[in-house]
Amino acid sequence: MKNKSIKLLTAFSLFLLCICCGNNELVLTPDPESQSKITIHSIADLNMRASVIDSHKNDKNNVLEMDFRRKVELKSELSCVAPFYPRVKKLTNGQYILLYMDGAWGPNIYYALSKDMLTWSNSRPLFTPYPHGNNDTRYFACADAAVLHNGDIVVACCFRDLNGYSSHPEYSGLMMRRSSDNGQTWTDEYQIYQGSCWEPYLLQLPSGELQVYFTDNDPTPSIRNSGSSILRSFNSGQTWTPALGELPIRVVHQYTYTNQDNIKIFTGQMISTRLLHDNKTIAVVCESRNDFNGTNMCISYCNSTDNWAKSIGQNEEGPANHQWNVMTGVGPYLALFPSGESVLSYSARIGGSLDGHIILRIGGVTANDFDKEVYNKPFPNAPTIWGSMELDDPHTLIVAAPNFLDGNDYTKIKKASLLLGKMTLNHRINAPTDTPTLDGDNADWKDNTDAFFLGSDSRSQATFRFAHDNQKLYLLVERIDDYLTSDDALTLMLNNGTKTLKFKLNYDDASKTLATDNPAIECKSFLSGKFNDGARDKGCIAELAIPVSQLSLGQKVFFNAVLHDKDVNDGFNGLTENVPAKWLPITLD
C-alpha cells in the first residue's frame, strides 16, 4: 500500500509540474521509474533483422563507419616490439583469436585470445624458430587461419631456413597446427607443403574442402619469379593434395616481362579469396609485382568458376578471367558481406597519393568492381602494410593493421603497435509503416532495429532509426555521450529526390532538454545525465516527427548527418552535403 501511495504522489507531482511549465502546453515526461528502464542502444544492439543473401547487391550508397568505441591499439599486451601481419578470426564460441609475427619477416608467430576484441590475453608463441639444416635456423612468417565447419581452428604459416633460403628451397614450405578447443591447446606442427613460398591464405568451401592458397615463388635473388598456387584437403586439413614433394596447382600467373636471360617473369602473389554467393565463383584479389625492384606494385582481380580444375603452365598466363594492375597498392585482402557488398583492403604504395595507409573500397557481388573514387582509411594516421579483415556479423567488419612508430619504410621498422577496429556497414534500411508514441521512450521501436551508425571520430556516437505514416516521417536518434555539454548537437539532412530538409538538433537551455531549430518538427527527448554539470553521463534520446508539409514522402528518402561534439564534426565517410543522391537510402515500407 505504501508503494502505491508513493507512485500516486509521484505521478500527481509530475502532473502539477507539467501544468506549471508554461506555454499552455502539457509536456508529458516519463516518470523517474520508467526513465530508469530506458536503455540508450549502441549499434551493436541494432540491425537484428535476419540477413538475406545479396539483399543489397544492386545498391551503390554504402558506407563503412569505424566505431571509435570498438577500436583499440595493442602495445604492451604483445610479445614483441615490432608486430606485423595481424590476422583476426572469430571463433565458434563468439570469442576472437589474433595472430601476428615479429618483424617484417618473422621469425616467431604469436597468438592471443579475446572475448570482446578490446581486452586481450597475454600473447603466446605458436611457431618459434629452432636449429635446422647445416648450422641454420628455421624461421616462421605470415600466418593465416580458418575456423572450420566443425569448430576447429587451423593455422598455416610459411617457414624457411634463414641462411639457406635461396640455396635450399627444399627446406622451405608450409607448416600447420590445429586447435579443437578454441585456441586453448594445439597439436604439434606438421608440414603440408615443401618448397619456397610466402603468405598462405585459407578458405573452406561449403562442401568441406579446405584450401590453402600461397605465393609460389622462385627464391633465386636474380629472378624474382612468382605466382599463386593451391593445396586442397578433403578431411579438414589432416592430409593434403598434392602431397609433399609434388608440384602444387598453380591458380594465378600474370606475365610481366622477359628478363636479360630470356626468362619470362610472372607475378600474382599475396592472394586473398572468397567464394561468391553463386556458390561457384571463387573471387581473387592479389598483388602484382611489375618490375624487379618492386617499385611498380599493383592490385589485380581474377576468378575461377570451376574451382581451379586445371593448373596453369610454367610459361602460361592465367586465369582467363582477370583484370591485371587495376590500381597501385600492395597486400590486398577481401571480405564479403551476406547482403552482397564486397570490400577490398590494401596498403597504398609508400610515396603514392595515399601514402602507406590501409585503404578500403566497397564493391558489389562480383568482387571486381570496387569504387575507384570513394575510399575509407580506417586508421588515418597510421603508416602501415599487410592488414586484414574478418566479418564479425552481417553488418560489422573487423579490420587489423600494424602501426609503424618509427618511420614508414617497413623494411626498417623496429617499433610498431597493432590497430584493431570494428566498422559498421551503413546501407539501405527500411522504415516501416508505424506511428510511435512521441515521448522520448524508445520502447515503441523494439521491433524496428534497422539503423544507421555515426561515430568514428570520438567516443560520442549516434544511431538513427526511421518509421512513417501518411502524415509524418519519424526519426529516433540515440546518442551515447560520456559528457553532455551545450556543444553537443546533430545536423540532420533528409532528401526526397527533389528537396532537401536540413535542421539541427541540440540542447535548449530554456527547456533543459533537446529541441530542433525547426518549430514544425516535433521533438520529445530523454536525458540520461545532465548537460554541463561535468559529471559522467550516458547520453540522450530524441524522437522526432517530421510532417509531410516539411518533406513530402515517396518510396525512398535519403539521409545524411553530422555529429558535433566540442571540436569534432563527425560525418559519414565520403558523403557531402551538396550531393544528396549519394546519401544513405531509406525505403518506406
CATH number at residue 316: 2.120.10.10
Beta bridge partners of residue 90, listed in sequence order: 96
Rounded CA-CA distance 281/287 in Å is 20
- 584 vs 36, more confident: 584
Beta bridge partners of residue 141, listed in sequence order: 158
Can you give the pLDDT at residue 35? 53
Last residue of a domain, one of 393, 426, 459: 426
How does residue 21 score in pLDDT terms, banded at 50, 70 and 90? very low
Can you give the pLDDT at residue 294? 82
Position 245 in a domain: yes
Position 10 in a domain: no
Residues 357 and 483 placed together within one structural domain of the fold: no
Residues 421 and 433 placed together within one structural domain of the fold: no
Residues 237 and 278 placed together within one structural domain of the fold: yes
What is the percent of the chain with per-residue pLDDT over 90, rounded to a whole number?
A: 85
Position 216 in a domain: yes
Can you give the pLDDT at residue 2? 36
Residues 169 and 239 placed together within one structural domain of the fold: yes
Can you give the pLDDT at residue 117? 96
Position 399 in a domain: yes
- Mean pLDDT, the chain, integer: 92
Average pLDDT over residues 363-391: 94
Last residue of a domain, one of 408, 426, 444: 426
Rounded CA-CA distance 338/580 in Å is 26
Residues 416 and 278 placed together within one structural domain of the fold: yes
How does residue 349 score in pLDDT terms, banded at 50, 70 and 90? low
Residues 406 and 438 placed together within one structural domain of the fold: no
**H/E stretch holding 94:** none
Position 259 in a domain: yes
Please check the confidence at residue 127 and state whether its pLDDT lies above 80.
Answer: yes
Q: What is the pLDDT of residues 81-100, one digit of tens each?
A: 999 999 999 999 999 999 99
On the CB side of 116, how many CA atoms lie within 13 Å of its CA?
7
- 218 vs 172, more confident: 172
Position 5 in a domain: no
Rounded to whole angstroms, what are the CA distances from 77 to 80, 96, 430, 459? 9, 15, 42, 23
Can you give the pLDDT at residue 167? 92
Least Cα distance to 544 among 465, 454, 460, 470 occurs for: 465
Please check the confidence at residue 10 and state whether its pLDDT lies above 50.
Answer: no
Number of domain units in the chain: 2
Cell numbers linked to 281: 565463383
Can you give the pLDDT at residue 408? 81
563 residue type, one letter = L
Residues 275 and 260 placed together within one structural domain of the fold: yes
How does residue 351 score in pLDDT terms, banded at 50, 70 and 90? low
How does residue 348 score in pLDDT terms, banded at 50, 70 and 90? confident
Average pLDDT over residues 301-325: 97
Residues 503 and 390 placed together within one structural domain of the fold: no
Position 2 in a domain: no
191 residue type, one letter = Q
Q: Which residue has the cell 590501409?
A: 358
Cβ proximity of 149 and 204 under 8 Å: yes
Beta bridge partners of residue 74, listed in sequence order: 418
Range of the domain at 526: 25-52+428-588
> Helix, strand, or coil here: 580?
helix
Rounded CA-CA distance 404/385 in Å is 9
How does residue 142 score in pLDDT terms, banded at 50, 70 and 90? very high
Please check the confidence at residue 18 and state whether its pLDDT lies above 60.
Answer: no
Residues contacting 461, CB < 8 A, separation 6+: 42, 43, 67, 68, 69, 453, 454, 455, 479, 480, 563
Average pLDDT over residues 306-323: 96
Residues 432 and 403 placed together within one structural domain of the fold: no
Least confident range from 150-164, 215-229, 478-492: namely 215-229
CATH number at residue 475: 2.60.40.1190
Average pLDDT over residues 461-475: 98
Last residue of a domain, one of 406, 426, 446: 426
How does residue 22 score in pLDDT terms, banded at 50, 70 and 90? very low
Rounded CA-CA distance 339/576 in Å is 25
Q: What is the pLDDT of residues 532-553, one digit of tens each?
A: 999 999 999 999 999 999 999 9
Backbone angles phi, psi at 209, to 5 degrees: -60, 130
Least Cα distance to 116 among 70, 180, 152, 66 occurs for: 70
Cell numbers linked to 483: 559528457
Cell numbers linked to 463: 544511431
Position 531 in a domain: yes
Residues 319 and 176 placed together within one structural domain of the fold: yes
Average pLDDT over residues 224-252: 96
Rounded CA-CA distance 323/307 in Å is 18
Q: What is the pLDDT of residues 23-33, one digit of tens each?
A: 333 333 444 44
Can you give the pLDDT at residue 3? 42
- Whole-prediction pTM value? 0.92
Least confident range from 53-57, 130-134, 195-199, 453-457: namely 130-134
- Cα dihedral 437, 438, 441, 445 in deg (nearest 10): 50
Can you give the pLDDT at residue 586? 98
**Angle ∠(128,174,169) on CA atoms, nearest 5:** 100
Give the best-scoring range by mean pLDDT among 282-296, 330-344, 345-359.
330-344
Least confident range from 259-263, 319-323, 429-433, 540-544: namely 259-263
Backbone angles phi, psi at 375, to 5 degrees: -140, 165
Cβ proximity of 426 and 65 under 8 Å: yes
Rounded CA-CA distance 586/439 in Å is 23
Residues 438 and 449 placed together within one structural domain of the fold: yes
Can you give the pLDDT at residue 118? 97
Rounded to whole angstroms, what are the CA distances from 346 to 68, 105, 217, 255, 457? 21, 18, 21, 22, 22
How does residue 153 score in pLDDT terms, banded at 50, 70 and 90? very high
Residues 474 and 410 placed together within one structural domain of the fold: no
> Helix, strand, or coil here: 363?
strand
Cβ proximity of 265 and 257 under 8 Å: yes
How does residue 435 score in pLDDT terms, banded at 50, 70 and 90? very high
